[in-house]
Amino acid sequence: MKKPLKFLKEVSTEMKRVSWPNRKELTRYTIVVVFTVIFIAIYFAIADYGISSLIRLITE
């Protein structure tokens, strides 16, 4: 029973040492992630369209 409590106390201590981003940094990081996800989604959509068009040409 002591080990889980000790673990939780150590986690609490470590969480106090963490350097959390401020609001401006967090906003910037969020924007970067959103645009990266959008870019990758567009890239895969174009690749999927190209591959499916190629397969349609071959099978017809």
What mean pLDDT is predicted for residues 49-60? 94
DSSP structure class, residue 47: H
Q: Are the C-beta atoms of 21 and 29 separated by less than 8 Å? A: yes
pLDDT (0 to 100) of residue 1: 65
Query: Amino acid identity, residue 23?
Result: R
pLDDT category at 60 given cuts 50, 70, 90 is confident
Helices assigned H by DSSP within the chain? 2-17, 23-59
Residue 21 φ then ψ, to 5°: -70, 150
Tokens 């959103």 locate to 34
Q: Tens digit of pLDDT for each residue in 3-54?
A: 989 999 999 999 999 999 999 999 999 999 999 999 999 999 999 999 999 9
